[in-house]
Amino acid sequence: MKTAIAERIEDKLYQNRYLVDSGRPHITVRPHRSPSLNLLALTRVCPAKCYELNQTGQVEVTADGCMECGTCRVLCGANGDVEWNYPRGGFGVLFKFG
Amino acid sequence: MTKEKFDAIVVGAGMSGNAATYTMASRGLKVLQLERGEYPGSKNVQGAIMYASMLEEIIPDFRNDAPLERHLVEQRFWIMDDTSHTGMHYRSDDFNEVMPNRYTIIRAQFDKWLSGKVREAGGTVLCETTATELAWDGSGKAIGVRTDRSGDAVLADVVVLAEGVNGLLGTRAGLREMPKPQNVALAVKELHFLPEEVIAQRFGLTGDEGCVIEAGGTISRGMAGLGFVYTNKESISLGIGCLISNFAETMERPYALLDAFKRHPSIQPLIAGSEVKEYAAHLIPEGGFNAIPRLCGNGWVVVGDAAQLNNAVHREGSNLAMASGRMAGEAISIIKSRGGLMDKASLSLYKTMLDKSFVVEDLSKHKDMPSLLHTNSPNFFTTYPQLISHAAQNFVRVDGTPKIEREIAATAAFIKARSRWGLVSDAVRLATAWR
C-alpha cells in the first residue's frame, strides 16, 4: 500500500507544477540586521517553507515553491518587511486541481 | 496591447470574475477579462463545495455540462480530541433530487468550464496577464488597468476588481486596507486519489452521492480553525485552516498540522492507500461583516474574496463570490443601458443590491462571531472538545461504575475547566454572536 503521509514539505511541493520566473523573484525580503517577530514567524508559518534563517541570523526567501497564498503579505506586507507581488503572467504555481 | 476601449474590464477569472464577466457579456457589453494564470483556474484554490442556486441564477442549465464531482447527501460535523471524534451527522435521501443543492467540485476544471461559458457569451478572456495597477484620470476616476504586458493602460468605463483575497490593485490604490492577520485564515489542503468504489465504500455512497466532514477541536492546537474532508468522484480533498494571527502566535507549521490531521485515528482509515497529487495553500477571508471594505467608487467596484465576502460560520465563499459578481455585472449593465456615467453614485446600485441580498444579510447576522472565536479560541477549540469527548466516552463506556457517579464526574469536569460562570458566559456569548 502506498503511504498517504508525506512528512517532508519538499515531498509535498514536489507534487505541484510550477513555472519559475528565473532571476525575477516575486517576493523580496527587506535587508535587515535582525528579523521582526512576524518575519521570524514566516520561517515556520509559510506553508511552502520559502523562508529560512541564514547563518548570520537574517531571514531569506526562496520563492520557487511558493503557492502564492499571501500569508507573508498579510503578516509582513504592511510593515515593509516583505515586498509582495504576483509573478508575471503565466509564471508561478500552476494548480492542476486547485 | 490593444487600443480599443471596453465597457468593462474584469480583473480575475475566479468565481466572482467569471460571474461578473458572463453577466455583462451576455447582456451585450464589451468586456475584457484579465487572468494571470496559464488558464482560468490555474491560480484558484477552494475546498471545494459549490452551491447550485447561485450558479443557477447565472447559468440555469449548468448541470448539463459542468464538471461536477458529487452531489452531497451527507454532512458530518465532528468535534475532535486527540483520539476521538463526537459527531453530528445529517444524511437525507431528500438530497437525491433532480436538481441537487450542493456539489463538490475541482476548481481548476470547474473554472475552465465556466470560462468557456464566458467566452461563448462574448467575453474576451486574456490569460497569462497580470494586472499591476489601476489607471486614473485627473478627476480621480478609474479609467482602466495597467498590466505586465505593456506600459499603456487598457481603458474601460468601469473596472470590476475580482482579484481575490490578495487583490493588489485595490490595496495599491488605497481603496481598501490589506487584510489583518486576525481576519484571514490560512488553509492548506491535499488532494488524495482513491478508486471511486473505495470512496463509495468508505463513506457509504452510491453513484454520484457525496459526503463531507467539517471538523473542529484539538486538531487546530488551540487555534481558531477547522479541518475538512470532502469526497470527490475519484479523490478526497482534505485540509485544515486556522487564522493567520493564531499561526503567528503559536508558530505552528501548517503542513505539520495537516499531517497530524491525516494521522488522526478517525481520519487515517478514510484516506489509507491514497495517492496525493497536489498540495495547495490559500487564504480565506474570515473577518465577516465588519471587515467588508468600500465596495464601489468612481469607475470601480470590488467583488468576491477581494471584498472579504465570505461567510466563515457557514463555510460559504464561492457562492457569495458568484452572487456579488453577478450583481455587479447586473448593476453595470443597468447603468450602461440608461446611458449613465460609471461614477460612485450610479455604481452604488451594486451596493444597494448586495445589501438587500442574502450576502450582506447573512454576514451581518454573524458579525460578532469572528472576534468571539478569535479571542476565545483555546476554549472553543481545545477545552470544550476534550470535555465533550470525555463526557461522550463516559456515557458509552460500561465498567460497573454507577451511572450517577459518571454523570456527576462529567458535569464536574465542565465546571472545573470553565467554572459555572464561564460556562454560562461562553454559552451566552456564543448564542448572542449566532443570533
Q: Tens digit of pLDDT for each residue in A45-86? A: 999 999 999 999 999 999 999 999 999 999 999 999 999 999
Which chain B residues are closer than 8 Å to A45 by Cβ? 186, 244, 247-248, 251-254
Asked if B36 and A41 come within 8 Å (Cβ–Cβ), the reply is no
Based on the domain organization, do B155 and B301 belong to the same domain? yes
pLDDT digits (tens, 9 = 90+) for B374-386: 777 888 899 999 9
Based on the domain organization, do B305 and B393 belong to the same domain? no
How confident is residue B429, by pLDDT bands cut at 50, 70 and 90?
confident
B148 touches chain A (CB under 8 A): yes
C-alpha A19: how far from its chain's center?
15
C-alpha cell recorded at residue B245? 494571527
pLDDT of residue B2: 52
Q: Average pLDDT for residues B321-346, to the nearest whole number? A: 97
- The reply to whether B100 falls in a domain is no
Of B43, B106, B263, the CB nearest to A5: B263
Measured CA to CA, the distance from residue A51 to residue A59 in angstroms comes to 6
pLDDT of residue B369: 82
**The domain boundary residue, chosen from B262, B285, B308:** B285
Based on the domain organization, do B64 and B172 belong to the same domain? yes
- Ramachandran category for residue A13: left, alpha or beta (phi over 0 → left; psi -120 to 50 → alpha): alpha
Question: Mean pLDDT: which of B1-5, B352-356, B407-411 is highest?
Answer: B352-356
Q: Average pLDDT for residues B315-332, to the nearest whole number? A: 96
Which CATH number fits the domain that encloses residue B315? 3.50.50.60
**Structurally, how many domains does chain B consist of?**
3
Contact B397, B375 (CB under 8 A): no
pLDDT digits (tens, 9 = 90+) for B243-271: 999 999 999 999 999 999 999 999 999 99
**The domain boundary residue, chosen from B225, B255, B285:** B285
Based on the domain organization, do B31 and B170 belong to the same domain? yes
Cα–Cα–Cα angle for B281, B286, B289, nearest 5°? Answer: 150
Among B332, B275, B300, B267, residue whose Cα is nearest residue B25:
B332
Measured CA to CA, the distance from residue B217 to residue B223 in angstroms comes to 9
B108 touches chain A (CB under 8 A): yes
Based on the domain organization, do B413 and B328 belong to the same domain? no
pLDDT digits (tens, 9 = 90+) for B198-224: 999 999 999 999 999 999 999 999 999
- The reply to whether B81 falls in a domain is no
Based on the domain organization, do B212 and B277 belong to the same domain? yes
- The reply to whether B1 falls in a domain is no
Measured CA to CA, the distance from residue B426 to residue B379 in angstroms comes to 9
- The reply to whether B76 falls in a domain is no
**The domain boundary residue, chosen from B365, B394, B417:** B365
- The reply to whether B91 falls in a domain is no
The pairing of strands B225-231 and B209-217 is antiparallel
The count of other CB atoms within 10 Å of the CB of residue B38 is 18
- How far B33 CA sits from the closest chain A CA (Å)? 13
pLDDT digits (tens, 9 = 90+) for B44-103: 999 999 999 999 999 999 999 999 999 999 999 999 999 999 999 999 999 999 999 999
Bond from prior residue into B108 cis (ω within 30 degrees of 0): no
- The reply to whether B89 falls in a domain is no
pLDDT of residue B370: 80
C-alpha cell recorded at residue B12? 480575475
Measured CA to CA, the distance from residue B215 to residue B77 in angstroms comes to 6
Asked if A5 and B262 come within 8 Å (Cβ–Cβ), the reply is yes
Based on the domain organization, do B265 and B406 belong to the same domain? no
Asked if A71 and B281 come within 8 Å (Cβ–Cβ), the reply is yes
Does residue A1 surpass a pLDDT of 50? no
Based on the domain organization, do B151 and B27 belong to the same domain? yes
Q: How many CA atoms lie within 13 A of B202 on its CB side?
A: 26
Based on the domain organization, do B379 and B347 belong to the same domain? no
Backbone angles phi, psi at B366, to 5 degrees: -105, 30
Which CATH number fits the domain that encloses residue B204? 3.30.9.90
Of B42, B244, B278, the CB nearest to A71: B244
Q: How many CA atoms lie within 13 A of B173 on its CB side?
A: 28
C-alpha B411: how far from its chain's center?
37
Domains of chain A (ranges; CATH) run 24-94 (3.30.70.20)
Of A49, A73, A95, the CB nearest to B45: A95
Does residue A5 surpass a pLDDT of 70? no
- The boundaries of the domain holding residue B113 are 6-68+105-177+293-365
Asked if A48 and B281 come within 8 Å (Cβ–Cβ), the reply is yes
Helices B358-365 and B344-356: angle between axes, nearest 10 degrees: 60
pLDDT of residue B375: 76
Asked if B43 and A93 come within 8 Å (Cβ–Cβ), the reply is yes
Which chain A residues are closer than 8 Å to B259 by Cβ? 5-7
Based on the domain organization, do B140 and B196 belong to the same domain? no
Asked if B251 and A75 come within 8 Å (Cβ–Cβ), the reply is no
- The reply to whether B226 falls in a domain is yes
Measured CA to CA, the distance from residue B90 to residue B136 in angstroms comes to 52
Who wins on pLDDT, B37 or B435? B37
Q: What percent of chain B has pLDDT over 90?
A: 85
Question: What are residue B51's DSSP bridge partners?
Answer: B102
- How far B12 CA sits from the closest chain A CA (Å)? 12
Does residue B15 surpass a pLDDT of 70? yes
A16 touches chain B (CB under 8 A): yes
Question: In a 3-state reduction of DSSP, which class is residue B406?
Answer: helix
B269: Cβ contacts below 8 Å, ≥ 6 apart: B202
C-alpha cell recorded at residue B27? 447582456
Chain mean pLDDT for chain B:
95
Based on the domain organization, do B248 and B219 belong to the same domain? yes
pLDDT of residue B265: 98
Asked if B278 and A16 come within 8 Å (Cβ–Cβ), the reply is yes
pLDDT digits (tens, 9 = 90+) for B263-315: 999 999 999 999 999 999 999 999 999 999 999 999 999 999 999 999 988 88
- The reply to whether B43 falls in a domain is yes
**A-B contacts (CB, under 8 Å):** 154
User: Does the reported pTM lie above 0.90?
Assistant: yes
Give contacts of B 46-65 with A, CB under 8 A.
46, 48
Based on the domain organization, do B19 and B110 belong to the same domain? yes
